Amino acid sequence: MMRISRKANFIAMLSIATVSAALWLGTAPARAQSPNMSEEELLRALTPKPLTRGLSPMNDDSARHADEDNKAIEGYRDRTADSLSQADRDKIASIADRKPNVDLTINFDYNSAQISAKSIPEVQKLGRVLTNPALKGSTFLLAGYTDAAGGAPYNQKLSERRAESIRRYLEDNFHIAESDLVTVGYGKTRLKDGDHPMSEVNRRVQVVNMENKRTASR
C-alpha cells in the first residue's frame, strides 16, 4: 500500500511539473526561427494582426503607440544604416520588439558583407514572401548582426554593410522599393548564440514587419 501511495504521489508531482512547464512555455514571447521555415510559415510570422477599434482589446494608449511607431518609421525611410545614430538604433529596436519578426539564418562570408552561397536560397525565399500581396504596403526592417570577432566599431560598420547587402539584393532581384526597406546594424551587441560568440549563426539578419494596419470599427 505504501508503494502504491508513493507511486501515485510521484505521478501527480510529475503531472503538475509537466503542466507548469507547458504553461511557462505558452507564455514565453514567440519569435519565429529559421532555417527550415516554409514560405507560408515565414509569411504568417511577418503578417501583423489588424488593430481594430471596438473588436479587439486595443485601447487608446495602444492606438497612440501604434501611430507613434508608424510616424517614427516614416522618418527612417530612404536612410542608410550608416546614417543612424545610437539613439536611432535604440529607437528602432524598441519598436521592432513589438512587431512581427523573424530571425533568418542568412549567413555571410567571414569578415565580409558578401552573402554566402548557401544562404542565397533563403534570401530568395524572403524576397518572394516580402512581395506577397498579403504584405503589400508594409515597411520592413532589415537588421544586420555580426559575430564577436573584431572590435566594436568595425563590427558595427560590418553589420550595417550586411543589412545594406540584403537590401540591395531584394531591390535588384525582387524590385522592392528602397523606401520600403529600413536597414540598421547592431554589430556584436546582440549575439544570437552568446555561448558561442564566434559562431556563424551570429552573422545573421533579422526581418521585422514595422507596419501597423488598423481596420475600422463596426
Question: Quick one: average pLDDT of 103-109?
Answer: 83
Q: Domain check: are 56 and 159 in the same one?
A: yes
Q: Domain check: are 2 and 106 in the same one?
A: no
Q: Domain check: are 186 and 88 in the same one?
A: yes
Q: Domain check: are 149 and 182 in the same one?
A: yes
Pairing of strands 205-209, 140-144: antiparallel
Range of the domain at 165: 31-215
Q: What is the pLDDT of residues 16-65, one digit of tens each?
A: 333 333 322 232 334 555 557 899 999 999 998 765 555 455 556 667 77
Q: Domain check: are 15 and 114 in the same one?
A: no
Q: What's the confidence (pLDDT) of residue 35?
A: 54
Neighbours of 75 (CB within 10 A): 11
Q: Domain check: are 5 and 104 in the same one?
A: no
Q: Name residue 28's amino acid.
A: A
How many domains does the structure of the chain reveal? 2
Look at residue 173 and tell me whether its pLDDT is greater than 50. Answer: yes
Q: Give the range with max mean pLDDT: 15-19, 80-84, 197-201.
A: 80-84
Question: What integer best gives the mean pLDDT of the chain?
Answer: 79
Q: Domain check: are 94 and 158 in the same one?
A: yes
Q: Domain check: are 76 and 51 in the same one?
A: yes
Q: What is the CATH number of the domain that holds 156?
A: 3.30.1330.60
Look at residue 201 and tell me whether its pLDDT is greater than 90. Answer: no
Q: What's the confidence (pLDDT) of residue 5?
A: 53
Q: Name residue 32's amino acid.
A: A
Q: Domain check: are 9 and 88 in the same one?
A: no
Q: Domain check: are 24 and 60 in the same one?
A: no
Which residues fall within 8 angstroms of residue 137, CB to CB, at 6 or more apart? Answer: 211, 213
Q: What's the confidence (pLDDT) of residue 34?
A: 54
Q: Domain check: are 3 and 100 in the same one?
A: no
Question: Is the alpha carbon torsion for 200, 201, 202, 206 positive or negative?
Answer: positive
Longest dimension (CA), the chain: 75
Q: What's the confidence (pLDDT) of residue 132?
A: 97
Q: What's the confidence (pLDDT) of residue 111?
A: 80
Percent of the chain with pLDDT over 70: 74
Q: Domain check: are 18 and 89 in the same one?
A: no
